[in-house]
Chains A and B, each alone.
Chain A
Amino acid sequence: MRIGVDVGGTNTDAVLMDGSKVLASRKMPTTADVSSGIEAAIGAILTEADVTGSQIDCVMIGTTHFTNAFVQAKDLARVFALRIGAPAGRGIPPFSAWPAAMRDAVFGGYAMVRGGYEFDGRQIAPLDEAAIAAAARDIKAKGIGHVAVSGIFSQLNADQEIRAGEILADAVPGLSVSLSSQLGRVGLLERENAAIMNASLRSLADHVADAFARALESLGITAPFFVSQNDGTLMKTDQLRRYPVLTFAAGPTNSLRGAAWLTGLKDAIVVDIGGTTTDIGVLVNGFPRQSSVAVDIGGVRTNFRMPDIISIGLGGGSRVREHGGKVTVGPDSTGFRLLREGLIFGGATLTASDIAVASGKADFGDRKKVEHLDEGLVFAALDAIHGLVEDGIDRMKTSRGKTPMILVGGGHVLISRPLEGISQTEAPDHAGVANAVGAAIGQISGEIDRIYNIANDDSREAALADARERAIEAAVLAGADRASVEIVNIEAVPLQYLPGGATRVVCRAVGDLVMEKA
Chain B
Amino acid sequence: MATEINLDNIEDLAVGSAFLGTGGGGDPYLGSLLCREAIAKYGPVRLVSLDDLKDEDSVYVAAAIGAPTVMIEKLFSVEDQHHAVSLLERYLDRPATAITSAEIGGCNSMMPVAYAAMRGLPLVDGDGMGRAFPELQMTSMNVAGIACAPMTLADEHGNSLLIQANSGKKAELLARPVVAEMGASICMSCYPMTGAEARRGLVRDTISAAVAIGEAVRTRGDLSAIDRLVGALRQHAYYADAYRIFDGKITEIERTTQSGWVTGKCTIAAALGKREAQLTFKNENLVVYVDGVLRCVVPDLITVVDQETGQAIPTERLAYGQRVSVIGCSAPAPLKTPAALEVVGPACFGLSEAYTPIRALMEGKE
Contact = CB atoms under 8 A, between A and B. Distances in A.
Interface of A: 85-93, 96-97, 116, 118-119, 124-125, 152-153, 186-189, 292-293, 394-400, 494-500, 502, 504
B73 A188 contact: yes
B69 interface: yes
Contacts of B317: 292-293
Nearest to B25: A497
> Which of A97, A400, A497, A502 has its CB near the most chain B CB atoms (within 10 A)?
A497
Interface stretch (B76-84, B143-151, B340-348): B76-84
Nearest to A294: B29
Interface residues of B, number: 46
A500 B323 contact: no
Contacts of B176: 499
A398 B318 CA distance: 11
Interface string B57-69: 0000000001111
B320 A399 contact: yes
B257 A494 contact: yes
A292 B37 CA distance: 27
A495 B67 CA distance: 7
Contact of A497 (B68, B251, B320): B68
A281 B79 CA distance: 45
B177 A496 contact: no
A119 B30 contact: no
Interface string B261-285: 1100000000000000000000100
Contacts of B66: 497-498
Contacts of A153: 73
B183 interface: yes
A96 B75 CA distance: 12
12 contacts: A87-B157, A88-B77, A90-B156, A91-B79, A92-B77, A118-B183, A189-B30, A189-B33, A394-B249, A496-B261, A498-B66, A502-B67
B132 to A, nearest CB: 11
A321 B134 CA distance: 52
A247 B151 CA distance: 49
A186 B157 contact: no
Chain B residues touching A, majority SS? mixed
Contact of A398 (B156, B262, B321): B321
Given A119-B184, A293-B317, A189 B251 contact: no
Interface in B74-98: 74-80
Chain A residues touching B, majority SS? loop
Nearest to B315: A496
B321 A394 contact: yes
Contact of A124 (B114, B158, B183): B183
B180 interface: yes
B257 A97 contact: no
B162 interface: no
B74 A498 contact: no
A92 B257 contact: no
B34 A91 contact: yes
Q: Which 6 A-B pairs have the closest CB atoms?
A: A91-B77, A494-B257, A89-B75, A498-B67, A87-B156, A88-B156
A88 B321 contact: no
Contact of B75 (A92, A119, A399, A494): A92
A403 to B, nearest CB: 12
A450 to B, nearest CB: 12
Contact of A189 (B75, B80, B249, B257): B75
B70 interface: yes
B206 interface: no
A502 B183 CA distance: 12
B321 A397 contact: yes
Interface in B233-261: 249, 251, 257, 259-261
Contacts of A188: 72-75
Nearest to A503: B257
Contacts of A400: 251
B134 A497 contact: yes
Given A494-B262, A497-B283, A97 B33 contact: yes
A97 B36 contact: yes
A328 B60 CA distance: 57
B51 interface: no
B319 interface: yes
Interface string B151-177: 000001110000000000000000011
Nearest to A125: B157
